[in-house]
Structures are given as structure tokens and as C-alpha cells.
């Protein structure tokens, strides 16, 4: 194996020289060092020139474990400097160009799935993450189970399947909870669950508490990246709840870490949110400065979506100040047109129409709203259909040549107002968070006999547990714990379902994890909740024992 690095670029040779002071001198030792850089908290955010080592060293390393570690650690470079295309290519070339064990290949496939998710290739991400999860489960690789669950759950959220996403995130938490080396993964999964708690508005859920748990895990892992993301999650929830002062403090704290880590992508998104909060607090000058910073950083990272959203924010301020910048909005719409994100395009079109109405350009406004209506039909959310219909009613009342009457559009608006169960699902200038109104329905009920041999789910499905010994005993234990407001840990559930067995804690964790997963697949995915202590049935679920049930 070559030990000379004279063929490396000069700045990398300098990095090697600096590392040699620590006794790191050959390829293998360098690989050991750089494959550990995926732990942000332990090493801090390494400079770009160090991150580039992952790409250069991976093809030279003979040890397959180290090679895979280098590829996984290269995620940092993908996020900060080199893009996900290059990372995906490295993962594919490594997987196809060398021999690996099934589990090592699964880690590389997971890298590809995360790159696909980051770039919006959801079907590919789902297929690859499902494959990595299957292998991870077979080999009981808890970290990869958590990572794969994160990608799958994120894809399901993007597809609007929030219940399935929740089950996937919870399965990931089940795998990693209590494992010190996986606290960063634990934090990332809890952040997702906190946002789902908030978005769905489930009775008994506490998104703020879950977000604080995510922040605690990130800090215990000394992972500054996840700490910033957890702070942003807390801020987003506070923002949606109307606590703008708290949201501002949290976003500011996250911004300081992102600056420290040179994470310009997350920094630009945080600054966009700070601009939105300043608007809501009626601080237009501060909002304008935040939007300008967000736009500049988005240009640096090539993120057209954040750039367009920041431009739209600036245009909103120009309208508030009586000097509307219609061209700025048109430029923002042009940026968004090439991206398959219909709600963001709809928000920009709606703002453009408002500007045009303000300037009494009603014919232009009608053309803009006609385009917005087509996008709103695609988005198919009642609040957007009602909003655009209201705008069209206003414009048609001022435009004799309008094809439809104001009454026509007013009736459509009223029709969709009756259906409206949630507010816009993504960022718009005056409503920058994903906010949904909680559903108000009767409390769900789980019915079972004294020994949980016959069970009726809240949806009316009947299950026969008479031949499912351990699963029946697990469910029975959870139901009894529910009546006493208790959470059950791994040892509690092991004692309940396998009372006479003595096994290691790790084996017990995996057995309980697998059994809980089976219970969820039987129809309890919405009702079994993972908590720090272990598991419990959700607060909003009522349980009743029916002694005479057949």
C-alpha cells in the first residue's frame, strides 16, 4: 500500500503534514481517522480540505470496513461542500468496484438512499432504504435500522403518509434508544416525531417535550449539527404555537451553531425563518436583513428554493412599505418553476397577485390567479382553493372582461371553506410553518378479554391472540400499564412475555423491539408509543376489559 501522498493536491499534502504530527502517517491510519469524522461532535466540523480525504482515500483502502466508513463519513462533505451527486457516485462506485459483506453493502445502499432523499428522488430513496433496512434487521445492526427508518419515514412524510411515517420513525427510535453511540440518530428521529406530533395535533401528544428530548440526546452525544437541528425543531413548534419570542431565541441559537459549523444550507433556512418571525413581530427592517442573508447564503449553496422564498419575503416587505417589487416576485417564480414543489410556487403566485391588485393591474392579476388556480387544483388543499377563489372573486368584481362572475368564485370559496380542515402545508409569507388543525373525533377504544386472547382494535378489526403467546402477554402488560399510567421498559416487557428466560440485555432489547414491531404491524402502529423508558399505549387510547367477550 502506498504511503506517499506527493500526488495529492498541495492543500491536502499540507493537511497530511499536520496530521503526521499526531503520528498519522499511512493510508490505513488516515482512513481510520477520516472514517471517524461522521461524528460531528467529537471532531467538530472539519474543514473542506479534510472532508475531501474521504473521497480520495476510499478507493485506496483495502480494508472493506474502513472503506465503507470513509464513504459514510463523506456525508459531511456532501452536505457542506461537494453535493449529494458526488457522494452518491462515490457510494455506487465503492459498492460495485469492491467486494463487501451484505451488511457493508447495505450501508453503502443507505448512503445512496439518503442522497436520493436529499435531491427529491423519493421512489429510489424508498427502494434503497427498504433494502438497507431489511439487511440491517437481519443482522441486527441497530444504527443502520435507525438510519434507514429515518430515510423511509422522511419519504413517507413527503408523500403525505403521516401515520406510516410515524410508525417508521418510532421503529427507528425503538432500535437506537438507550445506545450511547447512537444518540445522534436518536435525536434526528425524535425531531421528526416532534414535528409529526405538532402537525397532527394528536390529543395527549407533547411536541415541545419531544423536541426537548431530541435536544438533550444531541447534547449528550456532543453532536453540534444535531443540536442545531433540534433547536430549529423547537423553534418551528414555538413559531406555530404563536410564541414568536421563544422561536426567535431558538432560531438564533441554531444560527450561531450553523455559522460555527459553516453549514450554509441550514443557515440559509434558519435565516429565512428568522425573517418570517420578524414579519410576524412587525419588524420589517430586521426581516429584510434576514431575508437578504438567507438569499445570499442560498445562492452560495445553489438552493433555488430557499433563494426564491427569501426573494418572496423581500417582496412582501416592499408591499408593506408601499413600494411593491413585482419583478422580484417574477424572478422568484421563475426560480421555482423548474422545481416540483407546487405549494411554494402557489405561495409566490398568490403574493404576486396581491401586488398586482395593489397596483390595480387587474388583468395581470387575473392571469396570475388563473395559473395559481391550476396549481391549487394540483395541490388539492381546501385552504388554498378557498384562498385563490376569494382572490378571483375580488379581481372579477373589478374586471368586466372576467370569464366568471364574483358570485361564482365566492360560492367556490365558501364550498372549500366548509371542507377546510388544515391551513397551508408549507411556507407562505404570512404563514411560514406547516400548521394543521387537530381533528376532533371521539376517543378511540381498544377492547379485549381478561387474558387478551380476543382483541378488538379501535377501527373495529378483531384479532385472535390465543395462539400468539408472547405477543398476547406483551399487549396485556401494556394494557395493564396503561390503566396505571405507567411506561414499561425492556426488562418489564421481557418479564411479562418470557418470564422464565435469562438472556443478555442486548438480546432482550432486540427481542422486545421485534415483538413490538409485530404488534404494530397487526394494526397497533398508531397506538404503541416509544418513550425514553421503553413503551406505552398512547394517552388518547382508551382500554376496556370485557370479561364476557368471546
Q: How confident is the model at residue 24 (pLDDT cuts 50, 70, 90)?
A: very low
Q: What residue numbers bound the domain in which 428 lies?
A: 351-440
The 10 Å Cβ neighbour count of residue 475 is 26
Q: Is the pLDDT of residue 393 over 60?
A: yes
Q: What pLDDT, on the 0 to 100 scale, is given for residue 475? A: 93
3-state secondary structure of 265: helix
The residues that bridge with 414 in the sheet, in sequence order, are none
- Tell whether the torsion through CA atoms of 178, 181, 187 and 193 is positive or negative: negative
Specify whether 472 is located in the same domain as 525. yes
The answer to whether the CB of 318 falls within 8 A of the CB of 287 is no
Q: What pLDDT, on the 0 to 100 scale, is given for residue 524? A: 87
- Using one digit for the tens of pLDDT, what is the confidence trace for 474-483? 999 999 998 8
Q: What pLDDT, on the 0 to 100 scale, is given for residue 2? A: 36
Mean pLDDT of the region 527-550? 78
Regarding predicted confidence, which is higher, 540 or 31?
540
Mean pLDDT of the region 74-78? 72
- Using one digit for the tens of pLDDT, what is the confidence trace for 214-223? 999 999 988 8
- Using one digit for the tens of pLDDT, what is the confidence trace for 448-487? 888 888 888 887 778 888 877 888 999 999 999 988 888 8
Mean pLDDT of the region 41-47? 43
Domain end, chosen from 387, 405, 440, is at 440
Residue 113 lies inside a defined structural domain of this protein: no
Regarding predicted confidence, which is higher, 94 or 379?
94
Residue 12 lies inside a defined structural domain of this protein: no
CA-CA distances (angstroms) from residue 298 to 272, 294, 441?
10, 6, 42
Specify whether 415 is located in the same domain as 452. no
Regarding predicted confidence, which is higher, 283 or 18?
283
Specify whether 380 is located in the same domain as 362. yes
Residue 462 lies inside a defined structural domain of this protein: yes
Cell readout for 261 is 459549523
Does the predicted model carry a pTM greater than 0.75? no
Q: How confident is the model at residue 32 (pLDDT cuts 50, 70, 90)?
A: low
Mean pLDDT of the region 357-383? 77
CA distance 343 to 336: 10
Residues 6+ apart with CB under 8 A from 132: 106, 107, 109, 110, 113, 144, 147, 148
Mean pLDDT of the region 336-365? 68
Q: What pLDDT, on the 0 to 100 scale, is given for residue 118? A: 83
- Work out how many domains the chain is built from and give that number: 2
Domain end, chosen from 411, 440, 469, is at 440
Most confident of 257-271, 403-417, 426-440: 257-271
Specify whether 452 is located in the same domain as 541. yes
CATH code of the domain covering residue 452: 1.10.10.10
Between 168-172, 248-252, 417-421, the lowest mean confidence (pLDDT) is in 417-421
Mean pLDDT of the region 23-42? 47
Domain end, chosen from 407, 440, 473, is at 440
Output the CA angle 325-251-274, nearest 5 degrees: 10
From 163, 162, 218, select the one nearest 189 (Cα to Cα): 218
Q: What pLDDT, on the 0 to 100 scale, is given for residue 80? A: 64
Long-range contacts of 117-123 (CB under 8 A, 24+ apart): 117/151, 117/154, 117/155, 118/78, 118/84, 119/84, 119/85, 120/340, 122/155, 122/158, 122/159
Percent of the chain residues past pLDDT 90, beyond the cut: 21
Q: How confident is the model at residue 125 (pLDDT cuts 50, 70, 90)?
A: very high
Q: What pLDDT, on the 0 to 100 scale, is given for residue 550? A: 41
Amino acid at each position: 500500500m502506498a504511503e506517499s501522498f506527493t500526488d495529492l493536491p498541495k492543500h491536502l499534502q499540507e493537511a497530511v503534514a499536520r496530521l503526521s504530527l499526531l503520528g498519522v502517517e499511512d493510508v490505513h491510519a488516515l482512513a481510520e481517522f477520516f472514517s471517524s469524522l461522521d461524528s460531528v461532535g467529537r471532531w467538530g466540523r472539519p474543514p473542506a480540505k479534510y472532508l475531501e480525504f474521504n473521497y480520495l482515500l476510499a478507493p485506496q483502502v483495502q480494508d472493506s470496513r474502513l472503506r465503507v466508513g470513509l464513504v459514510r463519513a463523506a456525508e459531511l462533505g456532501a452536505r457542506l461542500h461537494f453535493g449529494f451527486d458526488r457522494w452518491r457516485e462515490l457510494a455506487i462506485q465503492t459498492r460495485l468496484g469492491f467486494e463487501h459483506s451484505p451488511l457493508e453493502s447495505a450501508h453503502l445502499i443507505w448512503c445512496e438512499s439518503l442522497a436520493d432523499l436529499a435531491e427529491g428522488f423519493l421512489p429510489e430513496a424508498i427502494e434503497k432504504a427498504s433494502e438497507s433496512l431489511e439487511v440491517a434487521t437481519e443482522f441486527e445492526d441497530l444504527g443502520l435500522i435507525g438510519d434507514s427508518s429515518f430515510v423511509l419515514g422522511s419519504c413517507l412524510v413527503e408523500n403525505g403518509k403521516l401515520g406510516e411515517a410515524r410508525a417508521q420513525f418510532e421503529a427507528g427510535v425503538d432500535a437506537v434508544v438507550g445506545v450511547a453511540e447512537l444518540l445522534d440518530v436518536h435525536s434526528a428521529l425524535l425531531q421528526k416525531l416532534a414535528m409529526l406530533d405538532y402537525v397532527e395535533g394528536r390529543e395527549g401528544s407533547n411536541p415541545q417535550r419531544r423536541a426537548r428530548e431530541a435536544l438533550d440526546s444531541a447534547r449528550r452525544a456532543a453532536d453540534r449539527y444535531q443540536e442545531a437541528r433540534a433547536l430549529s425543531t423547537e423553534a418551528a413548534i414555538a413559531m406555530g404555537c404563536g410564541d414568536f419570542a421563544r422561536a426567535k431565541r431558538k432560531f438564533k441559537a441554531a444560527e450561531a451553531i450553523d455559522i460555527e459549523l459553516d453549514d450554509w444550507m441550514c443557515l440559509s433556512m434558519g435565516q429565512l425563518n428568522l425573517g418570517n418571525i420578524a414579519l410576524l413581530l412587525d419588524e420589517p427592517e430586521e426581516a429584510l436583513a434576514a431575508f437578504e442573508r438567507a438569499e445570499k447564503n442560498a445562492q452560495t449553496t445553489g438552493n433555488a428554493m430557499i433563494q426564491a422564498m427569501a426573494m418572496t419575503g423581500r417582496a412582501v416587505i416592499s408591499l408593506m412599505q408601499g413600494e411593491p417589487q413585482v419583478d422580484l416576485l417574477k424572478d422568484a417564480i421563475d426560480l421555482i418553476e423548474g422545481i416540483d414543489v407546487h405549494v411554494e410556487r402557489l405561495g409566490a403566485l398568490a403574493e404576486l397577485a396581491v401586488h398586482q391588485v395593489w397596483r390595480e393591474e387587474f388583468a395581470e392579476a387575473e392571469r396570475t390567479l388563473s395559473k395559481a388556480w391550476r396549481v391549487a387544483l394540483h395541490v388539492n388543499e381546501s385552504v388554498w382553493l378557498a384562498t385563490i377563489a376569494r382572490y378571483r372573486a375580488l379581481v372579477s368584481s373589478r374586471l368586466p372582461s372576467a370569464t366568471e362572475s364574483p358570485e361564482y368564485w365566492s360560492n367556490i370559496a365558501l364550498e372549500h371553506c366548509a371542507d377546510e380542515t388544515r391551513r397551508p402545508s408549507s411556507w407562505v409569507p404570512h404563514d411560514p410553518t406547516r400548521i394543521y388543525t387537530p381533528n376532533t373525533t371521539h376517543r378511540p377504544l381498544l377492547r379485549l378479554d381478561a387474558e387478551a386472547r380476543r382483541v378488538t382494535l379501535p377501527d373495529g378489526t378483531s384479532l385472535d391472540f390465543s395462539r400468539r403467546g408472547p405477543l398476547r402477554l406483551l399487549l396485556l402488560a401494556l394494557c395493564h400499564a396503561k390503566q396505571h399510567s405507567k411506561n414499561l421498559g425492556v426488562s418489564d416487557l421481557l418479564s411479562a412475555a418470557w418470564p422464565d428466560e435469562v438472556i443478555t440485555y442486548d438480546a432482550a432489547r432486540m427481542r422486545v423491539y421485534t415483538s413490538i414491531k409485530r404488534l404494530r404491524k397487526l394494526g397497533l402502529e398508531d397506538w404503541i408509543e416509544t418513550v425514553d423508558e421503553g413503551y406505552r399505549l398512547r394517552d388518547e387510547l382508551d382500554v376496556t376489559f370485557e370479561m364476557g367477550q368471546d
